[in-house]
Amino acid sequence: MKALRIAALLLLSIAAAARADDALLDIRNDALVKRAFVPSPAQKVGEVRIVERGDAKVVQTLLYTKILARVVGEIRNKEAINWPPDAPGHADAQRYREALVQVQTQIWDRMPRGESVQDRRQKMWIEFVLGPQRALVAIGAFEMEETGSEVKVVKREALDVFEASRDYVERNMRLIEADAFRADGETK
């Protein structure tokens, strides 16, 4: 009976956590603070958005590029530099690096192999979410509509979500923001 109670509690806590994740990843009430094309408006592979999602602050990266593997490779390189093996947060960075490859591979595998595709851009979103209680890293695929330079996410799917240390998420958010908006992330 005790074991049953423990299992039920576990399931409840997981469900609660999932609900909390759902809330942190729910984009319906997002308020866009600012955005920037990366690496530049002329050669954009995506954009970085600073978003307020209820109480949570979110740094959202939307990548829509034909060379997603290359872009992911560069993100992974930056992660390796920013989080060396002896630095706190290295384990989170490592987890993030693995998740990036995994999701990028899933997106790549979804592309038809033997036929030519009109829009070959692979679309990946990455979010660093800093809620009052929890800090999340989420990565997924999305579909979008474009009007001029405006990109509207019409459908999205989370393919990997994991909780990371607040310090890791906070610093990474700062670094991404600084990189995208050309400010010094470490002095902010």
Tell the smallest beta-carbon distance from residue 70 to other proteins (Å): 5
The residue (of 70 and 155) whose beta carbon lies closer to other proteins is: 70
The residue (of 25 and 141) whose beta carbon lies closer to other proteins is: 141
Tell the smallest beta-carbon distance from residue 24 to other proteins (Å): 29
Tell the smallest beta-carbon distance from residue 112 to other proteins (Å): 7
Q: Which residues bind other proteins (CB under 8 A)?
A: 43, 66-67, 69-74, 76-77, 80, 111-117, 120
Q: Which residue has the tokens 């036929």?
A: 115
The residue (of 79 and 177) whose beta carbon lies closer to other proteins is: 79
Tell the smallest beta-carbon distance from residue 76 to other proteins (Å): 5
The residue (of 107 and 176) whose beta carbon lies closer to other proteins is: 107
**Which two tokens mark 145?**
């509509």
The residue (of 85 and 114) whose beta carbon lies closer to other proteins is: 114
Tell the smallest beta-carbon distance from residue 75 to other proteins (Å): 8
For the chain, give the secondary structure using H, E and C: CHHHHHHHHHHHHHHHHHHHHHHHCCCCCCEEEEEEEECCCCCCCEEEEEEEECCEEEEEEEEEECCHHHHHHHHHHHHHHHCCCCCCCHHHHHHHHHHHHHHHHHHHHHCCCCCCCCCCCEEEEEEEEECCCCEEEEEEEEEEEEECCEEEEEEEEEEEEEECCHHHHHHHHHHHHHHHHCCCCCCC
